[in-house]
Amino acid sequence: MLLGKVVGTVVSTKKESTLDGSTFLLVRGMDLEGKDTSTLVVAVDAVGAGVGEVVLYASGSSARQTEVTKDRPVDATIMAIVDQLEVGGKLKYVK
Amino acid sequence: MLLGKVVGTVVSTKKESTLDGSTFLLVRGMDLEGKDTSTLVVAVDAVGAGVGEVVLYASGSSARQTEVTKDRPVDATIMAIVDQLEVGGKLKYVK
Amino acid sequence: MLLGKVVGTVVSTKKESTLDGSTFLLVRGMDLEGKDTSTLVVAVDAVGAGVGEVVLYASGSSARQTEVTKDRPVDATIMAIVDQLEVGGKLKYVK
Amino acid sequence: MLLGKVVGTVVSTKKESTLDGSTFLLVRGMDLEGKDTSTLVVAVDAVGAGVGEVVLYASGSSARQTEVTKDRPVDATIMAIVDQLEVGGKLKYVK
Amino acid sequence: MLLGKVVGTVVSTKKESTLDGSTFLLVRGMDLEGKDTSTLVVAVDAVGAGVGEVVLYASGSSARQTEVTKDRPVDATIMAIVDQLEVGGKLKYVK
């Protein structure tokens, strides 16, 4: 999984019918110092994440292993909201 | 999924027979400022997207989870046309 | 799928037995101006492509969705020969 | 698989229910000289790896081929702890 | 598949039990001039490749389509030893 921060939302009315009701969130990659990376993905939310939260998202076929995304054309799913990141014995991030 | 803009079309007469009838669109990656990225993919269209539209496309096996692409050698499928992008409370893109 | 140009061939006598008879082609990534990119893959040919031709190739599990590559350890398959690329109303490439 | 070093841990209480009980480790990519690369992933641990250890992790659907990760939305799994790396007849790393 | 050169070996005693007996080889990416690229993967060997040999390896789920790797958490498998690379009518590499 990759670390990211939810930075926004995508609205789409014309989409694959199996995606009706899905929430599309813009996720910016984040490094261990809390800085943005160049990575930008649109992920379906499976855990009730909101803008500003630090999350883990799964990519590829693994993104479809949730009830929300099963058998749907989804290749990125937020599947955890991060509470803490600990690196070298120090807390790098606390929600 | 990744954000992109449809910039053109690909014509191919000699192709895998299961792809007869598929529309191949050239999709250029797009950042949140609306600028092109270096990413260029050829995606099959599942939602009636046209040149100039901002879209979301799914990659890998997820690209095959639509009626149009099921069991076909397709690794990129446009599955939503973007109406709005909202970042930090501001509309970054409106169709 | 990605755009590429067939630039050469690979000969291998010692290989997975399920790959006997497969043709391995060297494919160099190509941008919309016809220039090489840094991408280099070895793809199995499913459509009779030859050196010098511009092609589309599928990657990952999608590369196995053809008769030639089904259930084989192949992660890149040429599945279309490009006749035309049209961008912004202009023909960027004609075979 | 890719080579990496476990550098930290991720705590998450709100996550996909199938991930309850999984250990999320921060893994930094490592080159053959033992230096960090820019790669950073969050992997589920299948072998009891700890912070500071050099590991191999599998990505994508292959990450789900363990008892711990089967049918779960996991796209990176640590599946080996490295004891030795030998390159050009020399030991580059010994645990 | 990607082109690479076997540069070393990895020893691991603590690993996923389904990987017991697998040979882990360090593979460095190679370009058409025979130069190293920055790519470094650890691949399971399916064809008896040795250090110094030029090989093709498959990634992702395709890496599991061999007897040696089926249903195992392996995302990179060497599935051919290269005898010759021919580019533009010239032999770029001969074993």
Residue-range domain boundaries for chain C? 2-94
- The CATH number assigned to the domain with range E2-94 reads 2.40.50.220
Joined together, the tokens standing for residue E78 give 């060497």
**Distance between start and end Cα atoms, chain B:** 19
Tell whether the model's pLDDT for residue C88 goes beyond 90: no
Neighbour count for residue A79 (Cβ, 10 Å): 31
**Cβ of A62 and D42 within 8 Å?**
no
Joined together, the tokens standing for residue C30 give 């190509």
* Test the C interface: residue of B5, B7, B12 with most C CBs within 10 Å: B12
The answer to whether E77 touches E58, Cβ cutoff 8 Å, is yes
Q: What is the pTM of this model?
A: 0.96
Distance from C-alpha of A63 to C-alpha of B79, rounded to nearest angstrom: 16
**Cβ of E88 and C8 within 8 Å?**
yes
Chain E residues touching residue D87 (CB < 8 angstroms) = 7-8, 26
pLDDT 10s per residue in chain B (95 long)? 999 999 999 999 999 999 999 999 999 999 999 999 999 999 999 999 999 999 999 999 999 999 999 999 999 999 999 999 999 889 999 99
Joined together, the tokens standing for residue B25 give 């669109």
**Cβ of B40 and C56 within 8 Å?**
no
**Cβ of D76 and A1 within 8 Å?**
yes
Joined together, the tokens standing for residue E57 give 């390896």
Which residue from E47, E59, E85 is facing C14, i.e. has the nearest CB?
E47
| Beta strands, E only, E16-89 | 24-30, 36-45, 54-59, 76-81, 84-87
Residues 9-68 of E with CB under 8 A from C: 31-32, 46-48, 56, 58-66
Which residue from E8, E12, E75 is facing D62, i.e. has the nearest CB?
E75
ipTM over 0.85: yes
Which residue from D1, D66, D83 is facing E75, i.e. has the nearest CB?
D1
Topology of the domain comprising D2-12+21-94:
OB fold (Dihydrolipoamide Acetyltransferase, E2P) (2.40.50)
Closest chain E C-alpha to D90 CA, distance in angstroms: 9
Give CA separation, D17 vs B63, D21, E26, in Å.
26, 9, 36
Confidence band for E88, pLDDT divided at 50, 70 and 90? confident
Q: Which residues are registered as beta bridge partners of D29?
A: D4
Joined together, the tokens standing for residue D52 give 């500071």
pLDDT of residue E70: 95
